[in-house]
Structure 1
């Protein structure tokens, strides 16, 4: 039995690892191309909105259908759909058409495919492995994603330097082929479907979302943690999109420097995750969350203040920021797992993702306009200061500071 499930995951991981690295490389190559070709923060903001918004909107609804469909086929068709969108983008470049609107549309459609793929993958894992191995599998998945976030940008920078953007996009299709092929050799059972009238699907989704909202508002501490996290995400997401432009415009970097910054952010996240896994701190998790808000905000603000010849210090600050983000995420998830009813936890997480991302789209849109008019570095300073301020006022919110005292 042990050899059977391990062999299945070895096949799945092999395909997914290649697919994740190729997707990460292509995504970063697109960012480099947009940054160099347009030099516009607003263009990068629109691209980020196109890549995130569809997934945030349809994510909770997609879960309802994923639970009813064959999960293996869902993953295969999702990968194939994303690859098809990428192929259309590549064909568009080959024909000499560099329409930004078409790129936004394709990025949005790729996001739709991702909205079905990742939840189907997560939902399939418990059907393949013993319960006592789920934490171990989750850890390996995290390592694969972290390595992809480090190796992908490096590969993307190399590819965009060697090939045209149209040829670079083909690597994403190759990765999808590996992922689909690996799934073909694995049998994934599906859970028994609960008797449910198809006409009630959407009503059930809205009911589940309402239950998640009620669960969050049941505890004032959790409510404030969500509010502060949403405000911070409103600022963090635009800053993450502007990193390439800060490297290009303020520190006078190029493709190599842009890839370095993406890589060291991933290294920082690995360091932060490793520290959380090795050290068992006695400090309460909510205190860690507040401190990480302050630290992350300071790394952004100081990065905007640095002189143009301080790229090395900018790199160090990016590592610290990645570590702070990783430590924050780990403690945020742990508090939700400790405080929320397990039967409602999935709905709470999906609701938070949608509620946090959708307002951030407004932040992205306005930040693109602001950054193009006042400068990327000043945008970093302002948004970083807001994030740090969130961490400071969190210490003065009594109900929030009660979390974890039970």
Structure 2
């Protein structure tokens, strides 16, 4: 656990640095251009390139030393942020420069994230995997907790230029930690297949299992409705409040992630019916999505943002444990990559289409004198931002229905029973060597018996 804690500390520093940039840059774009579509494009480009390269990244993570792949990802992210900083520090940064750099950053972070998630079972005993995934979530929550407190003040004091300096320095620290930490060798054997064959085998392993296939469909549908709600929290608040209030709401969300990760760290998640725990977390999450959209009230939105983040963290922690327990370690990179590709395949729809154009569709309905002002408007209110509030309410209902249908589906309701835990890879390798030696030892005996006959 000491090695894992050291690696997690390095990741904490780099995540805080990158989270400062991720908080500041899209807000800078939104404030500079006033365009919600450009604001949403930032999220799409931060996601899609990494998704497209994830099958290749997963195969490479399984094929090579995961520590070295993490190092390569961190170095790539460092170089990208340094290039962005140089453009800004020299006064040459334009908005269009951000987007190609964001594509490169998305690819680098995909390799880093897949290698890190795949390395957790390599660093941590099986009985502590739930706790370790809680630490992973808590690290993210710590960043989200600290960033809203720092970002707005740093934007005022040192600007985006100073924030990028901190981001570059944070990556230097994370790279330094990885250079001095060694990962234990627990893999079964070195790869002999071609890279394409490994990618195909990873696809067969994950997609060929009905339980995993059903789980992927569940997350793909869930993300259509859930992703716009997290993206639109800042515009929802800016509809009636200030940038400082956005920071306060982001702090509430970060507190939810931190406490959700802390809960997973102490508890470790359910030991048996883990997928049912994911479904129940989704139901509670839908309730807080509903709360977020009810009124133009900062305390109410803060409660909603806290609950959404807390229960999404619990959901992600339990889901990560499911993959690490049910999938052999030699397949982790490929299976996590495939799951990410399919489950996140609908995120661009949520980010790029539903968020900007859905709000444009719903917003006129709750303007003063609008079609729903005299009915739904009596509950949700009317005016700027209330159409976004209506989206929260409708999508919360859709998320709850998705979870309830999944719980009634036999493939998912019996997932924990029908899909057995995977054997450790070092045990699989040991058994393979034993069988080989037994065949070699039995061969001379068989040949001697044949000669006697």
**Under TM normalisation by the shorter chain, which class is it?**
0.7 to 0.9
For residues 111-166 of structure 1, give each alpha carbon's deviation from its aligned partner in whole angstroms, at most 9, with x where no partner exists: 11112223333455666677777666555444333212211332222211222223
For residues 216-248 of structure 1, give each alpha carbon's deviation from its aligned partner in whole angstroms, at most 9, with x where no partner exists: x2x4xx544432221111221222111111111
- 1:85/1:294 Cα in 2 relative to 1: closer, same or farther (>3 Å)? same
TM-score by length of 1: 0.82
Q: Is structure 2 residue 258 aligned with structure 1 residue 260?
A: no
Instruction: Quote the offset at 1:89 in angstroms.
Output: 1.6
For residues 266-309 of structure 1, give each alpha carbon's deviation from its aligned partner in whole angstroms, at most 9, with x where no partner exists: 32233344445449879955554444333323322332231x3x
Aligned ranges 1:7-406 → 2 under 5 Å: 12-97=7-92, 99-124=94-119, 137-188=132-183, 194-196=190-192, 200-215=194-209, 217=210, 219=211, 223-249=213-239, 251-254=240-243, 256-275=244-263, 277-278=266-267, 285-306=274-295, 308=296, 310-333=297-320, 347-367=334-354, 368-375=356-363, 376-404=388-416
For 2:178 and 2:59, locate their aligned partners in 1 and report how far apart those are by CA, in whole Å: 22
Say if 1:35 and 1:245, in contact at 8 Å, map to a contact too. Answer: no
For 1:225 and 1:285, locate their aligned partners in 2 and report how far apart those are by CA, in whole Å: 12
Instruction: Quote the offset at 1:404 in angstroms.
Output: 4.6
Q: What root-mean-square deviation, in Å, do the aligned CA atoms of Structure 1 and Structure 2 show?
A: 3.4
For 1:292 and 1:134, locate their aligned partners in 2 and report how far apart those are by CA, in whole Å: 19
Instruction: Find the counterpart in structure 1 of residue 450 from structure 2.
Output: none
Say if 1:25 and 1:154, in contact at 8 Å, map to a contact too. Answer: no
Question: Which moves more between the two structures, 55-64 or 187-196?
Answer: 187-196
For 2:93 and 2:334, locate their aligned partners in 1 and report how far apart those are by CA, in whole Å: 40
Say if 1:35 and 1:244, in contact at 8 Å, map to a contact too. Answer: no
Q: Could you list the runs of 5+ residues in structure 2 that have no partner in the other structure?
A: 364-387, 419-453
Report the number of matched residues.
391
- 1:356/1:172 Cα in 2 relative to 1: closer, same or farther (>3 Å)? same
Q: Could you list the runs of 5+ residues in structure 1 that have no partner in the other structure?
A: none
TM-score by length of 2: 0.74
For residues 76-121 of structure 1, give each alpha carbon's deviation from its aligned partner in whole angstroms, at most 9, with x where no partner exists: 3322221221122223334545533321211111111112223333
Say if 1:40 and 1:372, in contact at 8 Å, map to a contact too. Answer: no
For 1:283 and 1:192, locate their aligned partners in 2 and report how far apart those are by CA, in whole Å: 26
For 2:269 and 2:74, locate their aligned partners in 1 and report how far apart those are by CA, in whole Å: 38
- 1:279/1:70 Cα in 2 relative to 1: closer, same or farther (>3 Å)? closer
Say if 1:234 and 1:356, in contact at 8 Å, map to a contact too. Answer: no
Instruction: Quote the offset at 1:50 in angstroms.
Output: 0.9
Instruction: Quote the offset at 1:43 in angstroms.
Output: 1.8
Larger radius of gyration: 2
- 1:322/1:59 Cα in 2 relative to 1: closer, same or farther (>3 Å)? same
Instruction: Quote the offset at 1:54 in angstroms.
Output: 1.7
- 1:290/1:183 Cα in 2 relative to 1: closer, same or farther (>3 Å)? closer
